[in-house]
Chain A
Amino acid sequence: AQSVTQLGSHVSVSEGALVLLRCNYSSSVPPYLFWYVQYPNQGLQLLLKYTTGATLVKGINGFEAEFKKSETSFHLTKPSAHMSDAAEYFCAVSEGGNTPLVFGKGTRLSVIA
């Protein structure tokens, strides 16, 4: 069975500071990993995904994540936080194919002016 652990239900950073949202996964097969962002009362928007190949993945809005197999991690980073980055962020894993995603519990990012 697959699972995702997101450390920290709430992260607060100052505008312009580094954003680091942590994600660890458990999977019995090579994982496909995703980060999604959710704004209040809206669906989820894909930020980035890792499938195979390059372990450093770049996404939209300046976000990137690095797949580290040895650490079973897929942490999300952004060099400089913007006020508009305040949202809920979900890390997810799948087995590939047409299978559902298993989500972490989410991390709420607050950006302080």
Chain B
Amino acid sequence: GAVVSQHPSRVICKSGTSVKIECRSLDFQATTMFWYRQFPKQSLMLMATSNEGSKATYEQGVEKDKFLINHASLTLSTLTVTSAHPEDSSFYICSARVLTGAENSPLHFGNGTRLTVT
């Protein structure tokens, strides 16, 4: 089955530093990847849509200069949290879809990254 790999699984960083999270589609190409954020005991909120070779599309309220997304290849998207603050501490999950031509492909999710900013 389709596999999405996310790295790192956990990261602790100091306030003011930047953290990069990688999302890879291991056995398929993904022109689009989706980044979600999940607060403790809450649902997943879409942050942005990452498009290979073009700018990401951010959801309302998500700061594009703080959450930098780069989708440089068909198998890799990165999310960089810049100048991290404690309120950025959260669980970040990426996802991608195998495009089969049918409009019913589910999203495949990475295992998430637990970011803790101290």
Contact = CB atoms under 8 A, between A and B. Distances in A.
B107 interface: yes
Given A98-B32, A100-B49, A103-B43, A51 B109 contact: no
Contact of A43 (B6, B43, B97): B6
Interface in B48-71: 49
B111 interface: yes
A43 B93 CA distance: 7
Interface residues of B, number: 28
Nearest to A52: B104
Interface residues of A, number: 24
Contact of B111 (A43, A102, A104, A105): A43
Contact of A34 (B41, B91, B106): B106
Contact of A51 (B9, B32, B104, B114): B104
Q: Which of A32, A42, A44 has the most CB of B within 10 A?
A: A44
A98 B99 contact: yes
Interface of A: 32, 34, 36, 41-46, 49, 51-52, 90, 96-98, 100-106, 108
